Each structure stands twice: as C-alpha cells, then as structure tokens.
Structure 1
Amino acid sequence: MTAPRTGGRWIERWDPEDETFWKESGERIARRNLVYSVLSEHIGFSIWTLWSVMVLFMGPEYGIDPAGKFFLIGTATFVGAFVRIPYTFAVARFGGRNWTVFSALMLLAPTVAALAVMEPGTSYSTFLLVAALTGVGGGNFASSMTNINAFFPLRRKGWALGLNAGGGNIGVPVVQLAGLLVIGTAGAGHPRLLLAAYLPLIVLAAVLAALRMDNLAPVRNDTGAVKEALRDRHTWIMSFLYVGTFGSFIGYSFAFGLVLQTQFGRTPLQAASLTFVGPLLGSLIRPVGGLLADRFGGARITLATFVAMAAATGLVILASAQKSLPVFLVGFVALFVLSGLGNGSTYKMIPGIFQAKALAGGMSGEAAAAYGRRLSGASMGLIGAVGALGGLGINLVFREAFLSTGSGTPAFVTFLGFYAVCCLVTWAVYLRRPMATTAPAADDSVKPQLTSV
C-alpha cells in the first residue's frame, strides 16, 4: 500500500469510503495521523494567538495605548488568515506529512523573534513586524484540516474535523494559561519565560510529525478544483457563515483580555486569570458541534447556534452598558461556547454540500464521494481564510469603538446585527429550500441532503 518517495512516507492507495479497507487498515492510519496533526495545529494556534498574551505584559512603560494593542493583535489575525490559502494547497503539492513538519518548524521564526524584541523601548513598527510573523501559526489550521479531510470517510468527517480543529483551538487557552502562570509567578516583566517554553514544544511537534505521519499520494494539486471552488456560490456562502463562527472565536480570543483591561480596569493578572476560560470551553465543544451535525444536520445546528449567539450578544450589550462584569463574563463565555459549536457544524457542512451537488448532478457511489473530497478540499482553505478575517474585523471594530466612545458596547451592537444576517442566510440557503438530490434510491449510504450537511 505504501511506496517510498523523495521527501517522506507516501501511501499510494487511499479509499476511506470502502468499509473493508477502512476496517482493515484505513481507520488505524487515519487516527494516527489525526493525533499528530492535532499536536502540530495546537502549537500553531498558540503561536498565532501569542500576542493576545504579549499585550498583557505590555504595561505603561511600553508606551502603547489600547488602540495600538488592538492593531497589534489584528495584524497577527490578518496575516494568519492570508497564509491559510497557500497552506491549503501546499498539502497536495508537498504531502500532508512533509508540510506538517515544515510548517511546525516555521513556528520557530516568530517565537525567536518575539524572544529577541519583547522589552520596553522596542519600536512599535518592530512589534508590528513580529506580530505579523506569528500569522504562520494561523496557516497551520488550513493545511491540517485539508489533510485530515482526505483521511476520513464522509460519515466520520464531522467528528474527525471537529476533533482536529478543537484540539488545535485549545492552543489558544493553553498559551493564555501559560501566560497567567508566568504573570502570577514571575510577574508581568518576564514575557520571555513564556516564549522560551514554546521552543522545545515546536521542535517536538515537528519531530513527531516526521516520524509518525504519512503523505497521501491520491491528494494531488488540482487547479481545476480550485477554479471550480472559486466559482461555486457555496464556497462564498460558507465563507460568510464561517466568519460568524470561527471569526468570532478567534477575534474574541485575541480581544478578550484587552477588553477586560480597557473596559473593566482589570490588572494583567486579573485579565489573564479570566481570558482562558472562554477559548478553552469553545475549543472543547467544537467536536460536539461536529457530532451534532453528523446526527441532526449541520445547517440545523448552525442556525440554532447563530440564534443563540445573537441572544448571548444581547446579554453582553446589557452588561456592557451597565458595567456589570459578572453578567458580561457569562455572556462572553457563552459566545465562545456557541462559536465553538458553530465551528464544528459549519465545517461538517462543507464536504456534505459538495457531495450533495454531485448526487444532484447524477453521480453516485465513489464518484460522488471523490467529487465531494476534491471540491471540499479545495474550498476549505478559502473558507478558512475568509473566516479568519472575521477575527480581524472584530478587533478593528473593537479598536474603533474604544477610540470613539471608550467602550466596547457599539462593537457588540455591530456583532448582533451580523449574527442576525447569518441566521437569515443559513435559513434561506440551506433550510428553506434545500437542494434535492437525484441519486438512485439504492445508494442511500451516500445520499446526503443539504439539510443534513
């Protein structure tokens, strides 16, 4: 089944929809690759969101106001979103295992750079450049999800993609907890301790990926699939919905501690002791969103999530206006949990949508499954990149709100309106008039409807 090629271990035949193949060897190999993919993506998320912690170390001696700090973390968000596009296609060009090793080692650059410059007196432009470097950690998500999508059959994608993404997302609260540990023990004047701790972890992730992961030879560069995905309206509709789920998760993860400091006057230690809770719960529940989507349909779970996110945002607006920190925390943490659920359900929808289109077009069986894998793999990087830009939008809206009013309340009003639009789009496109398939009745095992994606 395997054949050596230059640059790493390659698997020549891969057919996860074949139940015999899956039971005999496919599931074991897929699970092994999933484990080490999660580890590498986890470290990538930690490095990408590093500046959500670094700004907590930056006291008055750094001479950077809240608006400048929001722009720092917004820069990291933007670069992380942009590099997701080439990272997606790198899997097919170089192999999933090979690219995981390389992308893990790339995390050394922003970590070492931050280690060198993190001190008062460093210019703001230097901080901006180093924050931009951490964007390579955001790219790891796109390549990891594209790679794992190819390993698992459609019936298991919700679980596998949810677990892969959730395990990666946990890198956000972990780096925040590590920052809390440093601030609580050594003080806010020692950010380099946190940075130094990540250097051996990065090397470990790269070494384990090299030793334990595989490349899939059937996953090839397919410019036709990319062009087709770009032309397909569902790529852009799902990108918009992913702005609402993942964009919220990553944007709030970057901004939470800074909002607590700026709006509620929390000290760095007090802010750090609270910021990890929301991202942790949102990460842990992401696989649950995938499982619920597998069972009840991704569109239904996504719509319910957006409705609940709108309600939670209303609670946050009330708490923000009344300056009630306990109520604010309840609403904000609820937003993290709900965005985590929505992350799992929206990503489950992607492969199902394209397989449903194949069935509607007259394909069946493995041909429809292969079409779904081909188009979903090409679209995932685009959807992930656009979705991550939502995080940039959140930080820019926060920056403008605090500049103009000194409060985050106008920002939350904006987010409430956006979630209302997401509800309308999800219902109108995927629930009100679902696309009917024309697959033969005998092919029920691979006949998803858009209402069940």
Structure 2
Amino acid sequence: MKSDFWRSGHRPTLIAAFLYFDVAFMVWVLLGPLAPIIAKELHLSPAQKGLMVAVPTLAGAILRLVNGLLVDRIGPKKTGAIGQLIVIGGLMSGYVLGVNSFGGTLAIGVVLGFAGASFAVALPLASRWYGPEHQGKAMGIAGMGNSGTVFAALFAPLLAKAYGWNAVLGLACIPLAIVFVAYMLMAKDSPDQPEPKPLIAYASVLKDKDAWWFMLFYGVTFGGFVGLASSLSIYFVDRFALTPVIAGYFTAACVFAGSLVRPFGGALADRVGGIKTLSFVYILAAGTLVAISSAPASLGATLALFLLVMATLGAGNGAVFQLVPQRFRKEIGIMTGLVGFGGGVGGFYLASSLGLSKQWTGDTHFGFLIFAGLALIALIGLTSVKQRWRTTWGAAVVQGVKI
C-alpha cells in the first residue's frame, strides 16, 4: 500500500535525494539547450556540436564509478556534498573567467560531469532506506530528479538571450546553492550501510555477467534519454529552423515526458516485473527510433515521436532500477556507479554519433537507426537471461516481489 511505502523509509532523505538529483541534472545537460547559441558564436561544426554536448555525459559516466566507490566507503551524503561543491565552484569559475573557445566548452563539460555523477549518490541514498518490495517506487521518485533537464531546456535559452550564455553558468549556481543547504539539513544516511570493502572487492562485481547485462540495459534506456535530452535542441534548430528558445520548449516537453514516466515505470515493474516491463520498452523504443530516423517532414509528427520515445525510455529507466537492488543489494553503491556508467556511455555515444552522422552524411538518419539496433540487441540479451534470473536470484527475493 502507498501508506506502507511512506512509513517504511525516511521521507526527508527521499525528498533531499530528489532535489539534489533534480538540480544536478539541470546543469548536467546545460550545454544541450545552449548548443545552438554557443555553436553560432564559436562557429562550431556539427561534429563539434555533438562532441560538446556529449562530453558531460562521458565525464559523468566515468565519475559515477568514482562516486560508487566513495558511497560505499564514506557514505552517500558526504559523497553528494563533495560533488555539489565541485560543480558550484567550477560553474562560478567559468562565469567569472569566461568561456570563449571550443576547448573551454569541453572543460566546462568535464565539470558538469560531476553533476551527472550525482546519479550514483542520490539513488543509493534513497534506496537504502527501503525494502525490496518498495525499490521500484523509491528509486523511481529519487530518479525522477532527471526532470531537472526540463528546467535547463526551458530557461537556459531564455537567460542566454537576455544576458549571454556565459552568464547562465553563474545564474545556475543560485539554485545549486539553495539545494545544497536543503540537502545538508534533510539528507541522512541509512543505518543499514554495508561495511566498506577493499578496492579489489569491487573488481569482483565485474566478474558477474549480470553486472554487464545491467550496464547494457541501462546504456540503452538512460543513454537514449540523456543523449536525446542533450541533442534535441540542436536537432530542432537544424532540421526545422526553430529559434533556440522555441527549440528549448520542444525539448523540455520531451524531457518532461521521460521524467514523468520514470516512477510509473518503476511502479509497473513492481507490479508485473522488471523483465516484462523492459521487454516492452525495448520493442517500442526500437520501433519509434526507426520511425524518427525516416525524418518525418511534419514538425508535429516529429515531436509526437520524440515524446513517445522519451516516455518509453523513461519507463525503462525505472524498470532497470527495480531489478538492480534485488540482484545486488549489498553492492548497490558500486552497482549504481557501474550501471550509471553504462547509461552515461550510451548517452555519449548517441549524442556524439548524431553529430558525426550529420557531418559525414548530411543527416542524423544513421545515428537514430543504429541506436534502434542497440535497443533490439538489449531485447535479445534480456530474453536470453530472463529464465535464469527468474529461477536463480529471482526465486530468492522477498515473496510477492516480481522480477
């Protein structure tokens, strides 16, 4: 029951995890909605635009591994506090010193990677307060913080138009600082913290083939979500000649759809099982991406397809993290980092490949089509492991919890 869920955990921590995740994701994809403005000012090629918006996802992917280690050794709250201070300091430095070159945008992208690494903090911070029967809901609510990408798409182009895009870096520090204070007051580490393990113990997780499957599955669902969130403003401006502000509105609508559906994906996985939910996600996502790759002439049809695929991928994000804590509850910190790494790599690939496809062929067709193929590969992989999962570790979880 819903009331059982709220009584079973620590509500202030869940809210703090959501807020931290929300503003962190807001700045993580900040370069995406600003990309049309930056590219025009710095005269960037399509490949440079793709790389610029992809670097924060790759940096975030790598730093999620670091955060996964720190979460298990010093706790999620301290790890999150360190990351927030680095992001605030880095953005303020960029604002004060100014960013006037392509190399400078890449450096800012690395700083923003620390915000993307919040994934490996916020989810275990919330997850460790809840039992297996509530993992989908808890992870879904905390993970809904990826809705912060909506705010970036909505407000970054408007602020850049009014004050210049460099000023947006400094303005972003205001909500970051407010949430940092709330986080320090509200967040609390669960008393059910695993004992710190020697570093070599983390390598053993990678010997488990299930860890690699989860990295692939999330590389498609979250990678698709964040890759599109970073690239849609560029796509709408280049293909339909929209202004950056209007393109930001369209991007915000798509990102909102994916963020809104994430907790429902986790709840659906709690009800019918994560495997069934993910199977449907991969089928629908692959079909929609193929349709997008055909480059519909209508702006309305294109927007509808992007809304559908973002909502589908958002549901998949929730479903993956209904399964991960059941399989790796004692290693949830490092697994959150590893799975998040897979998601970040997927996002880096999609965003950069769209730019390369545009530069090499004059169209983004192949970028979307290849990612649709990755979704089908994930579906084949899920089909190959589902029987083993259900008859091994799936049979040992708490009665009534479905995988």
**Which TM-score applies when normalising by structure 2?**
0.92
Unmatched segments (≥5 aa) in structure 2: none
- Identify which range, 407-416 or 76-85, moves more after superposition: 407-416
Query: 1:98–1:210: 8 Å Cα contact kept in structure 2?
Result: no
1:433 to 1:92, Cα distance in 2 relative to 1, 3 A: closer
Aligned with 2:177 (options 203, 214, 219): 203
Change (3 A) 1:28 1:298: closer
Cα deviation, 1:385-430, whole Å, max 9, x if unaligned, reads 1121100100121122111111111111112211111111112211
Q: Which residue of 1 aligns with 2:333?
A: 377
Residue 128 of structure 1 aligns with an amino acid whose one-letter code is: L
Higher deviation after alignment, 256-265 or 59-68: 59-68
Aligned residue number for residue 171 of structure 1: 148
The partner residue of 2:313 within 339, 342, 351 is 339
Q: 1:239 aligns with which of 215, 219, 227?
A: 215
> Paired residue for 1:296?
272
Query: What does the per-residue CA deviation read over 1:289-313, in whole Å, with 9 as the maximum and x for residues that have no partner?
Result: 0000000000000000111111211
Task: Decide which of 338, 348, 352 is 1:392's aligned counterpart.
Answer: 348
**Residues 343-352 or 59-68, more deviating:** 59-68
> How has the CA–CA distance of structure 1 residues 270 and 213 changed in structure 2, closer, same or farther, with 3 Å as cutoff?
closer
CA contact (8 A) 2:72 2:333 kept: no
Q: 2-side partners of 1:116 and 1:69: how far apart?
A: 23
Q: Which amino acid aligns with 1:194?
A: V
Counterpart of 1:446?
398
Taking a change above 3 Å as real, the CA distance of residues 210 and 400 of structure 1, as seen in their structure-2 partners, is same
Aligned to 1:93: 73
Cα distance in 2 for partners of 1:344, 1:247 equals 13
Q: 2:159 maps to which residue?
A: 182
Shift of 1:52: 0.7
Instruction: Please tell me the root mean square deviation across aligned C-alpha atoms, in Å.
Output: 2.4
Write out per-residue CA displacement over residues 157-211 of structure 1, whole angstroms, 9 at most, x where no aligned residue. 1000011011x2011111111124325xx54x62244333322222222212222
Percent of aligned positions with the same letter in both sequences?
23
Which structure has the higher relative contact order (CA within 8 Å, separation 6+)?
Answer: 2
Partners of 1:219 and 1:295 lie apart in 2 by 28
Q: Aligned partners of 2:6, 2:207: CA distance in 1, in Å?
A: 33
Q: Distance in 2 between matches of 1:438 and 1:95?
A: 27
In 2 relative to 1, CA 66–433 (structure 1 residues): closer, same or farther, beyond 3 Å? same
Q: Give the paired residue count.
A: 399
Match of 1:152 in 2: 130
**Cα distance 1:334–1:108, how it changes in 2: closer, same or farther (>3 A)?**
same
1:369 is matched with none
Counterparts of 2:234 and 2:394, CA distance in 1: 52
Which digits, 9 at most, give the CA deviation of each residue in 1:352-380, with x for residues without a partner? 2x2xxxxxxxxxxxxxxxxx420333322
Seen in structure 2, the aligned counterparts of structure 1 residues 117 and 409 have a Cα distance that, compared at 3 Å, is: farther
Taking structure 1 as reference, are residues 405 and 196 closer, same or farther at Cα in structure 2, changes over 3 Å only?
same
TM-score (norm 1): 0.82
SS in 2 for 1:323: coil
Match of 2:366 in 1: 410
- Counterpart residue type for residue 403 of structure 1: Q
Give CA-to-partner distance per residue, 1:37-86, whole Å, 9 cap, x none: 11111111111111112213225332222221111111111101100011
Q: Match for residue 134 of structure 1?
A: 112
Task: Give the 3-state SS of the residue equivalent to 1:107 in structure 2.
Answer: helix
Match of 1:161 among 127, 134, 139: 139
CA distance in 1, matches of 2:70, 2:190: 13
Contact 1:159 1:291 in 2 (8 A): yes
2:50–2:353: 8 Å Cα contact kept in structure 1? no
Q: 1:86 to 1:287 in 2, by over 3 A?
A: same
Structure index of larger Rg: 1
Consecutive unaligned residues in structure 1, runs of 5 or more: 1-21, 355-371
Other-structure match for 1:436 = 391
For the pair 1:115 / 2:95, whether they are aligned, the reply is yes
List per-residue Cα deviations over 1:318-357 (Å, max 9, x = no partner): 3x1x4332221111121110000000001111122x2xxx
Q: Which amino acid aligns with 2:118?
A: N
Q: Is the 8 A contact 2:258 2:310 kept in 1?
A: yes
Q: Displacement, 1:220? A: 2.8
| Whole-angstrom distance in 1 between the partners of 2:97 and 2:309 | 34
d(CA) in 2 for partners of 1:274, 1:151: 36
Which residue number in structure 2 is paired with residue 191 of structure 1? 165
Cα distance in 1 for residues equivalent to 2:304 and 2:323: 29
2:73–2:197 contact (8 Å) kept in structure 1:
no
Task: Write the letter of the residue equivalent to 1:200.
Answer: I
Change in CA separation of 1:33 and 1:254 when aligned onto 2, cut-off 3 Å: same
Q: Name 2:18's counterpart in structure 1.
A: 38
Matches of 2:21 and 2:269, distance apart in 1: 23
Contact 2:217–2:378 (8 Å) recurs in 1: yes
Give the aligned partner of residue 197 of structure 2: 222
Summarize the Cα distance change of 1:29–1:299 in structure 2 as closer, same or farther, 3 Å threshold: closer
Quote the Cα distance in structure 1 between the aligned partners of 2:373 and 2:6: 45
Instruction: Give 1:364's aligned residue.
Output: none
Structure-2 separation of matches of 1:269 and 1:438: 49
Match of 2:380 in 1: 424
Residues 68, 116 of structure 1: alpha-carbon distance in 2 compared, 3 angstrom cutoff: farther
Runs of 4+ in 1 over 4 A off after TM superposition: 437-440
**Partner-residue secondary structure (3-state), 2:44:** coil
SS at match of 1:221: coil
Farther off after superposition, 106-115 or 78-87: 106-115
Distance 2:384 2:224 in 1: 22
Deviation at 1:29, TM superposition (A): 5.5
The one-letter code matched in structure 1 to 2:177 is: V
Matched, 1:70 2:70: no
